[in-house]
Amino acid sequence: MDDVVIRTHEKVRLRDPILIEGLPGVGNVGKLAADYLRDQLPAKPLATVYSKFFPPQVYVSDTGIIRLVSNDLSYWVAPPEAPHDLLVLGGDYQGISPEGQYEVTEQVLRYALQLGVKEVFTLAGFAQGRVVEEPRVLGAATIPARVEAMKKLGVVFSKNDPGGGLIGASGLFLGLGRLFGMEGVCLMGETSGYFVDPRGAEAVLKVLAKALDLTIDFTALEAKAHEIDRIAQRIHDAEQRSGEPGTPGAPASREDLGYIG
């Protein structure tokens, strides 16, 4: 089979569309952000991306219906006065091998190119290894003009972070995107890295909303953040009582944090 198969659900013509990528990763910040954006716009299904570089897996819905793991492109037609329609890429997995990362990213970029995409925003988490009360948004970009534009929106460009560069889809969409003549920005929401983090996703989306002049209602995302807080607090209290801090992954209740969202 082809390494990557993209099935188009609807033929569309988009006006100077911008691609926004958010796939599973650190704190699931990118995926939470992209999925939330898609639901709030709301964006409509455009195409589904299958690949032999994803796990050989189907998900089963509550009603017993299977669905092959995939990435998914949705589109949003902006109001006439806005300059850019949007393409949102979310999904179940990143490619599960280095080669797979390259292949999936390249095929999605080719597809996006045909739709006229010249600009990419990638959304990700940045693991700080400690609780982050008010997450900043760190940035990286393909050209200095984008760096300057993002700085004006409060994005932090740090000399030391991310030290080892970006590994995975959020970096690759920019790095390979350049080979297709696209420019772009990676927005990284600070997060502990210990659990799914809607607050990091909110920080990232707020920058994106400013950059693209979008109005997003964050009520539902904040509710999700509070839910995570409550669970984290309950675990913390239980550990205090037992006098024994939980090790990551040990108590089932702690693991619940990873599955919300």
Residue 147 binding a second copy, by CB under 8 A: yes
State the nearest-atom distance from the C-beta of 261 to a second copy, in Å.
Answer: 16
State the nearest-atom distance from the C-beta of 158 to a second copy, in Å.
Answer: 8
CA angle 77–80–83, rounded 5-degree value: 80
Residue span binding a second copy (CB under 8 A) among the ranges 36-44, 83-91, 158-166, 222-230? 158-166
Residue 24 binding a second copy, by CB under 8 A: no
Residue 59 binding a second copy, by CB under 8 A: yes
Residue 227 CB neighbour total at 10 angstroms: 14
Residue span binding a second copy (CB under 8 A) among the ranges 29-37, 58-66, 77-85, 236-244? 58-66
The dihedrals phi and psi of 74, each to the nearest 5 degrees, come to -120, 155
CA–CA gap between residue 30 and residue 80 (Å, rounded): 28
| One of 8, 42, 45, 68 touching a second copy (CB under 8 A) | 68
Helix axes 219-242, 29-40, angle to 10 degrees: 150
CA–CA gap between residue 4 and residue 106 (Å, rounded): 10
Dihedral (CA of 103, 165, 211, 35) sign: positive
- By CB under 8 A, what part of segment 78-107 binds a second copy? 95-96, 98-99, 101-103, 105-107
Residue 129 binding a second copy, by CB under 8 A: no
